[in-house]
Structure 1
Amino acid sequence: MPVSESSMVRVPSRCTAETARATVAFEITGYSLHKGLGGGKFLCSPAFSVGGYEWCIGYYPDGYEDEGSEGHVSAFLKLLTKNAEVRVLYKLVLVEPSSERSIGVSCKVPRVFTSENPCWGFRKLSAAEVESVYLRNDCLMIECEVSVIKESLDIHVPPSDILDNLATLLEGKIGADVTFKVKGEIFSAHKILLAMRSAVFNAEFYGAMRDKGAQDITVDDMQPAVFRAFLHFIYTDSMPPMDGLEDDDKREMVKHLLVAADKYAMERMKRICESMLCKSLDVETVATILALANQYHCNYLKDACIEFMLSSNRMKDVISSQGYLHLKRSSPDVIVDVLERAAKSCKI
């Protein structure tokens, strides 16, 4: 029996280490009053939190409880959090504030703090040296720098493919429950998705005046290529590729899509069309696009057209274009706007 081959999928991942840092000062006042506690007895700082764990500093003025602690002092950083295992870099020192002199311990290799072994620090420092050098006004200052090391595994998460899936849904027609007949071509779609994207479709399919039996809809005011592009945007929230179109054909497609976006209350699509048309203005087409902008209440596009006409001495060339003649006939009020703005800017 032949062995089937399986493909190997490489999933990128990365292990990273981060640290949570803090410096804690523990001041012991009235130090002389604490002498004589006995070996193994300690003073404890208030608990503090670093890296999501609770800690404290313990100071033993008469040394730790092990043999030979007499005449020494001890200090430890202690993990208070139960059932934890933490890797830590720390520096635990006694400080003489006026000279910034210090003595203690600093680990360059991470130490592991656990519930079974919660303390790291120094066991034996000469009590005589501590009291002669570091004790000032019967006050002792202990500083502890704590760096909690947190390791995490970062797994590469692929980008969302929901828009690709929706495009496939449109192409595959699976679950389609409405069809559109556009100039002899049939397009299948999904009512719920159309209604989600367009308030007009929502009212048509689910509103109070809906036709419950409507599953075949005829569209008379759009060409098939435009309707196909329109559905593409509804499903993918992006304009379809237009690389194969000449500039004039691309401009005409965008103009028709703007009209469709206005009809079906697709405001984002309408703004995208406005932006694309703003970038394609020339003296031959600007007047026609201005008429379109005025008709469909595209204020941004309208302002861009007027500014284009009035800049760089283009007005004479624009006036001689066929589009301007159409603009005068269809939208004489816009001509007034152009003239008023020109007068204000003294450009004609």
Structure 2
Amino acid sequence: MTLDLWPPLSLIRSTLGHAGETPAGDAPPAAAAAAAAQPSDASLLMPLTELARRREAVAARAFPARWAPGRLVSVLHEGRLLGVLLDKCLHGNLWRGWMAASEADWASAYDVLLEPGDEPFEPMFGLIQTWNVLNLEQRPQLCARVLGELSATRLAAVRAVHDEWAVQQVLPIAPEPGRIALRTAGGVFTVLSGTPLGVDDPRADYQGLYLDAAARLAAPLHASTEPGGLSPPAAAATTGGGDWWSRLVGWFRADRVVRPALALLALVVVVQNAALLRSGGEEEEVRFRALPGAAAPAAAGEQLLLRWKPATDMADAQALLAAAGAEVMGGPDAQGRWRLRLAGGDAVQGRALLAASPLVESVEPP
């Protein structure tokens, strides 16, 4: 299987610290290497401008340094920056997560590419390798920085893809290295991913390089009876079985006490919209995380963007929404805002009730 996937495997191997192990036949052709070494200024201007814009957005967001589920962190290891998406705290300073990289061409069906709705995030770590689980101890030597954060819904989608990998679920997608597209995960979510690996697939060597990098970075998982102290295979087994509802709840509640209100409100949104994926085609899948179409019944009524105050209790939030006659349509977005529809009673009174509540940080029109 001869393909021109970018960047070349030899460059990835060198970046991950295997420069001396590059097979002679793996190096790019001399002409291609020379051309890559002398790019025109015009060809670099647009991608460099976009890279600068995205990194400025990350810096402006000023993510908190505290580790939490769904946060994308960079760590310094063996003189190289590596990316990790945090899944959950096992106990103490020991966390479980997935390696994050940037090589979209090498994506498999169990890689999740972050999308514009996930911004801001560091572009170097926009590919989440759900097949590459590691346990990482939070320690000063890692010089860790938080460079992105996924919403509760998106983190649940990544967990769903990981569970598919854990049970080696057969996907009705033909192997095609270098191709990425939207697909359904867990029967509920849409994710942007690659295709399954085929025979003599070059992506197998790519995965081997990152598995080795994760093994060198990972902290050993200590035997523990504390909550969350499961090894990755055992944890996957506990979420892989059961009915659809149990698995869906598990994807949202995997981090236990962290962000419970946001996670369970997101769960309500997913359940309300699950029918779009189960009954529709590609158009409905693409619209899953967007607004319903103009002809949909849910489009009637005034819409608002609401941001909850930190540590808002789920039961209190649900009671307030019910009192205001508001329904959750989607979210949260990059600013932590939920899209609501005022469907019952007096919309003006409902909006005033939300704005006056001590649970609400802000409420505004879209």
Fold match by TM threshold 0.5: no
Higher strand proportion (structure 1 or 2): 1
Higher relative contact order (CA 8 A, sep 6+): 2
Higher helix share: 2
Bigger CA radius of gyration = 1
The TM-score with structure 2 as length reference comes to: 0.20
